[in-house]
A and B are shown apart, each in its own frame.
Chain A
């Protein structure tokens, strides 16, 4: 079974500073994909960044980067130069490659980020 763990229920960050959101995962699938989504207070789910298990380099998308440590099974999201609009819930998710895991995205419980001016 796949499992995603986000241990930080909520975080505060000062505007313009960087913040790291923790995500650890557990799977026995030979390959898998890791995703981060943002959910602002308006409720929609916004895809941020993707990391494949065989990707050699850490993924980056603008101010978002993924610190992928395969041996530790962690996929932390780093948001640089935080903005007030980054205040939201952030979800880590994983999609496997074997059987049922191939068809579903497994989500962590989420981390709420509040950016202070």
Chain B
């Protein structure tokens, strides 16, 4: 019972490099999302998807791209890494949007450092 799987767990990038954070879920959840966690700020929504082929921006989308070609996968791309993107990134999913009693199921996070 894997749930939400994120890879890698840790990553160090140089400024200007690009990379993709992977996220996969095996619960057939419609809704998937990416959050970043910074000290004292809780978690902030970067991008989300309500189904395959449908994505939209969250609160802090600049510098990130997403796509959703399958129900299971929701990768997050950093186009040109900046030190301000140093953070812990969480992928999360839930059965459906439009259902405010659905808790999010989180992956274990990716700790990203940009030097």
**In this complex, which of B42, B45, B109 has the most chain A Cβ atoms within 10 angstroms of its Cβ?**
B42
Q: B25 in the interface, Cβ–Cβ < 8 Å? A: no
Known: A91-B42, A103-B31, A110-B42. A44 touches B109 (CB 8 A): yes
- Contact of B48 with A104 in the complex, beta carbons under 8 Å: yes
CB <8 Å contact, A50 and B101 = yes
How big is the A interface, by class?
20 to 34
Point out the residue from B41, B98, B108 that lies within 8 Å of A109, measured CB to CB. Answer: B41
Distance of A9 Cα from B33 Cα, bound (Å) = 26
Q: Is A11 positioned at the interface, with any CB of B under 8 Å from its CB?
A: no
Contact across chains for B108 and A43 when beta carbons are under 8 A apart: yes
Tell me the minimal C-beta distance from A50 to chain B in angstroms.
6
B42 near A50: Cβ-Cβ < 8 Å: no
* B74 within 8 A of partner (CB): no
Interface residues of A in 12-63 (CB under 8 A from B): 31-33, 35, 37, 43-45, 47, 50, 52
Q: Nearest residue in A to B45 (C-beta to C-beta)?
A: A104
Contacts of A97 in B (CB 8 A): 100
Provide the bound-state CA to CA distance between A103 and B57, in Å.
Answer: 11
Q: Which residues of B contact A68 (CB under 8 A)?
A: none
Q: Bound state CA distance, A40 and B7, in angstroms?
A: 20
